[in-house]
Chains A and B, each alone.
Chain A
Amino acid sequence: MSDRVSAPRVNLMEVCGTHTMSIAKSGIKQLLPEGVRLISGPGCPVCVTSQGDIDAMLELSSEKDVIITTYGDMIRVPGSVRGDSLRRRKSEGADVRVVYSPADAVRIAREHPEKQTVFLGVGFETTAPGTAAAVKIASEAGVGNFTIYTALKRVEPALRALIGSEGFNVQGFLCPGHVAVITGEAGFRFLADEFGIPAVISGFEPEDIVRSIGMLLAQIRSGEARLENQYTRAVRPDGNPLALAMTEQFFETASCEWRGMGTVEDSAYVLRPEYSGFDAAKRFGVSPKKGLLPKGCLCGEVIQGRLDPALCPMFGKACSPEDPLGPCMVSSEGACAAAYKYGSFPPEKGVN
């Protein structure tokens, strides 16, 4: 990168866990021009899930004759009681299965009519359509023993909340390519149009990200604020209307709690009343408890980009992938997991 941005310091935020991992894995931070800093925002779906939701999911896994189906990311996420996780509950006899798609969960439900199969619906706009499709399949085929625990979230309200929060100090957004595949460019225009913050929708290869950072810096240098799309090979202006319609058919929006960010209006996808029969929380009478956070866990700060993972006093000491305090350390897209796995090492420079 030949761009040189002179002081003051420029903070760029990526809001996608896959970007976080790709940045760490390819060592992009060491190649940035002086004064440019990349910060991870609330882009890891597991990490932003409230502790109350996590505990409710753990509670569900111990219900009699319940099969929990989940993406692998959730397996090691710690409960508020130290040592508790789906993995731990599985060792103790809970039936927890990793699936790649919510449709697999419906298949499992059909194979086990004598049991209840619950799918843990965690994710953003990207996973909502697939989750909706699973409800559609189950609904049409009359699969009565299938439910989902919804903790699906929308990126836009969270970004608005973040921008409006005290001490917000980000000069450019690297927007999540996967979410934009669904929402289209339209889903991120508000960043520049309403808040005057430069934004670039980026792909996930290291070359994509480097290019996108270059585009952001060019905007900042020229004093512009636009939404640009670097990931044109996958993201269309209007996104994926089919997927959006699928989500719209089965879900409506509601407020929900984000880890560390509190309640954010309109930021959750919840099942529409006509499909509430598929709502695991209702069927089993569980609800997210008011979050009893693991003592000392600062994931909430990390998620909002206020704390660099390596600077968390717990990082690598009281909190490690083997014995985590919070989700950021164990999610495959967590900022702490990235920093732990790929190192903030060597510090600030490349190895030649």
Chain B
Amino acid sequence: MQEIITLDYGSGGKKTSSLIEEIILPLMGNDILDELGDAAVLSGAEKLVFSTDSFVVSPYFFPGGNIGKLSVCGTVNDVCMQGGDPRYLSLSLIIEEGLPMEDLKEIARSIADTAKAAGVRIVTGDTKVVERGHGDGLYINTAGIGTLKSPWLSKRGIRPGDRVIVSGTVGDHGAAVMLARNEDLLTGELLSDCAPLREPALALSALGEDLRIMRDPTRGGVATTLCEFAEGSSFSIRLDETAIPVAPQVASACDILGLDPLYCANEGKLLAVVAKERADEALGILRRFPVSENAAVIGEVRDEYPGKVLVRTRIGGSRIVAKLAGAQLPRIC
């Protein structure tokens, strides 16, 4: 019979220990985690960057990744975007009774592999099991701590003339997940871009204060993140529609599903605003890493229409880019 998670695994007793000792520690163990104390003891005297995120993606396996990989990338990337070098992660698993043990193991392996690739150690954690029907298989919360490398990053540094850079094609994750939910509707080679951004983010900090701000455009996509940059500011951002990299598969899938790639989530892309004179250099830096090899300048900061984000369309018109009201929904025709 297939081995599954039962409520016993959340009892805090033997079964809970077996989960930790047989799955977690062999994959993620290190001198701090191995202590299995109530809390991790960390050393350091630097300024810290601290972030947390919860992951509830459905389905928990999707093309290009799974909830485990996502839970590491999400938090690691948040720390990186704030100018941090991510060092430590906490990992909390909320497991729904009935989750196949094999699925849990595969997800744990992804967590371990991704943490290694991102240069972080998992140093503390928790597991809970909830009754069947009270979760979606598996929810994960991670929190991450990094040391602060680029303390100047802020939208207050953005100036008219600055260039907006995206590290690769937009909308891949959102489109891939949407497709995974509707596999009887469409099939195709569409992978989530889920990846840690530690390397390109740290490398960009070489630009010093000419790197104004970085953000990973997850939920709400590139559009929402740029709106947040512009909101309440004295500048506008103008994008060039033809310069925004969109994978052809993503463009087609979005067209059929009635979605806009600009609003689809990304899980391995960064947006950076850099001084105009350093834009080419920034592109050169990003293109050194596979995760950001398709980096492109997609727009510029201007002093007209303060607070707005505009797109110059391919036929020469323009439109506003506004924040999304609620979730994107599939349409009639």
- A residues bordering B, Cβ < 8 Å? 18, 24-31, 45-46, 71-73, 75-76, 87, 98, 100-101, 104, 122-124, 126-127, 178, 206-207, 210, 320-322, 332-333, 340-343, 345-346, 350-351
Closest 8 CB pairs of A and B: A27-B317, A72-B329, A343-B320, A321-B325, A72-B330, A342-B319, A332-B331, A71-B332
Q: Which chain B positions have C-beta within 8 A of A346?
A: 305, 310, 318
Asked if B308 is at the interface (CB within 8 A of a chain A CB), the reply is yes
- Assess the B333–A351 pair: CB atoms within 8 A: no
Q: Which residue of B lies closest to A76 (CB)?
A: B326
Any chain A CB within 8 A of the CB of B248?
no
CB-defined A-B contacts under 8 Å, sample of 17: A26-B317, A27-B315, A28-B315, A28-B317, A31-B316, A72-B329, A73-B331, A98-B329, A100-B182, A101-B185, A123-B332, A126-B332, A127-B333, A342-B320, A342-B322, A343-B319, A343-B322
Q: Which residues of A contact B319 (CB under 8 A)?
A: 24-27, 342-343
* Neighbouring A residues of B121 by C-beta, 8 Å: none
Q: How far is the CB of B59 from chain A (nearest CB, A)?
A: 16
Say yes or no: is B238 at the interface (Cβ < 8 Å to chain A): yes
Which residue, A27, A29, A350, has most C-beta atoms of chain B within 10 A? A27
Q: Is the CB of B333 within 8 A of A322?
A: no
Determine the chain A residues whose CB is within 8 A of the CB of B188 once the complex forms. none
Give Cα distance in the complex from A211 to B317, angstroms: 15
A321 pairs with B305, CB closer than 8 A:
no
Q: Is the CB of B333 within 8 A of A26?
A: no
Interface residues on B, range: 20 to 34
* Most-contacted residue by chain A among B185, B310, B320 (CB, 10 A): B320
A115 to B61, CA, bound (A): 29
Interface status of B312 (Cβ within 8 A of chain A): yes
Q: How far is the CB of A194 from chain B (nearest CB, A)?
A: 26
Q: How far is the CB of A47 from chain B (nearest CB, A)?
A: 11
Question: Which residues from chain B contact A30 at a C-beta distance below 8 Å?
Answer: 317-318
- B258 within 8 Å of A (CB atoms): yes
Return chain A residues, CB-CB under 8 Å to B318: 27, 30, 346, 350-351
Chain B residue contacts of A341, Cβ below 8 A: 320, 322
CA of A322 to CA of B332, assembled, Å:
20
Q: How far is the CA of A191 from the CA of B310 in the complex (A)?
A: 37
Smallest beta-carbon distance B219→chain A, Å:
17
Q: Say which residue of A123, A340, A350 sits within 8 Å of B317 (CB atoms).
A: A350
Chain B, 87-136, CB within 8 A of any chain A CB: none
Q: Are B314 and A206 neighbours in the complex by a CB distance under 8 Å?
A: yes
Bound CA–CA A342/B321 (angstroms): 6
Q: Are B315 and A351 in contact (CB under 8 A)?
A: no
Which residues on the B side are within 8 Å of A27 (C-beta)?
313, 315-319
> B22 contacts the other chain (Cβ, under 8 Å)?
no
Chain B residues lying within 8 Å of A71, measured Cβ to Cβ, are 330-332
Task: Name the one of B184, B185, B315 contacting A207, with C-beta atoms under 8 angstroms.
Answer: B315
Least CB distance from B222 to A in Å reads 15
The B contact surface, by secondary structure, is loop
Residue B304 is within 8 A (CB to CB) of chain A in the complex: yes
Chain A residues whose C-beta falls within 8 Å of the C-beta of B322 in the assembled complex: 340-343
Determine whether the beta carbon of A75 is less than 8 Å from that of B329. Answer: yes
Q: For chain B residues 286-333, which have a beta carbon within 8 Å of chain A?
A: 304-305, 308, 310, 312-320, 322, 325-326, 329-333
Q: In the complex, which residues of chain A have a beta carbon less than 8 angstroms from the beta carbon of B329?
A: 72-73, 75-76, 98, 332
Chain B residues contacting A343 (CB-CB under 8 Å) are 319-320, 322
CB pair A45 B326 closer than 8 Å: no
Given A72-B258, A206-B314, A350-B316, A345-B332 contact (CB < 8 Å): no
- Compute how far the CA of A86 lies from the CA of B304 in the bound complex, rounded to whole angstroms: 40
Q: How far is the CA of A350 from the CA of B310 in the complex (A)?
A: 11
CB contacts (< 8 Å) of B330 on chain A: these are 71-72, 98, 100
Q: Which residue of B lies closest to A126 (CB)?
A: B333
Residue pair B185, A100 in contact (C-beta under 8 Å): yes
Chain B residues contacting A45 (CB-CB under 8 Å) are: 332-333
Contacts of B184 in A (CB 8 A): 104
Knowing that A73-B331, A206-B315, A350-B318 touch, tell me 7 more A-B residue pairs with CB under 8 angstroms: A26-B315, A28-B317, A71-B332, A75-B329, A100-B182, A100-B185, A178-B333
Beyond A127-B333, A345-B320, whether A332 also contacts B315 by CB under 8 A is no
Rounded to whole angstroms, the CA-CA distance of A26 and B310 in the bound complex is 11
Against A, the Cβ 8 Å flags (1 = close, 0 = not) of B148-186 are 000000000000000000000000000000000010110
B257's nearest neighbour on chain A, judged by CB, is: A100
CA distance A25 to B305 in the complex (A): 18
Count chain A CB atoms within 10 A of each CB in B184, B185, B312, B319 and give the residue with the most.
Answer: B319
Q: Separation in Å of the B260 CB from the closest CB of chain A?
A: 8
Q: A268 to B151, alpha carbons, bound, how many Å? A: 63
Between A72, A76, A178, A207, the greatest number of chain B beta carbons within 10 A of the residue's beta carbon is seen for A72
- Give, as a whole number of angstroms, the nearest-CB distance from A187 to chain B: 15
| A103, B315: Cα distance in complex, Å | 38
Q: Give the nearest-CB partner of B321 in chain A.
A: A342
Query: Max chain B CB contacts within 10 Å: which of A45, A127, A206?
Result: A206
Cα distance, A178 to B185, chains bound together (Å) = 20
Chain B residues with CB below 8 A from A24, complex form = 319
Q: Complex Cα distance A320/B325, Å? A: 9
A26 with B326: CB separation less than 8 A: no
List A contacts of B313 (CB < 8 A). 25-27, 206
A49 to chain B, nearest CB (A): 11
Instruction: Return chain B residues, CB-CB under 8 Å to A345.
Output: 305, 308, 320
User: In the assembly, what is the distance between CA of A87 and CA of B322, in Å?
Assistant: 22
A126–B305 alpha-carbon span in the complex (Å): 40
Q: Which residues of the partner chain B approach A206 to less than 8 Å between Cβ atoms? A: 313-315, 317
Residues in chain A near residue B258, CB distance under 8 A: 72, 332
B316 touches A72 (CB 8 A): no
The contact string, 1 if C-beta is below 8 Å from chain A, for chain B 168-212, is 000000000000001011000000000000000000000000000
**Docked complex Cα distance between A123 and B332 (Å):** 7
A87 closest partner in B (C-beta): B326
Q: What is the CA–CA distance of A321 and B313 in the complex, to the nearest angstrom? A: 24
A127/B326 in contact, CB under 8 A: no
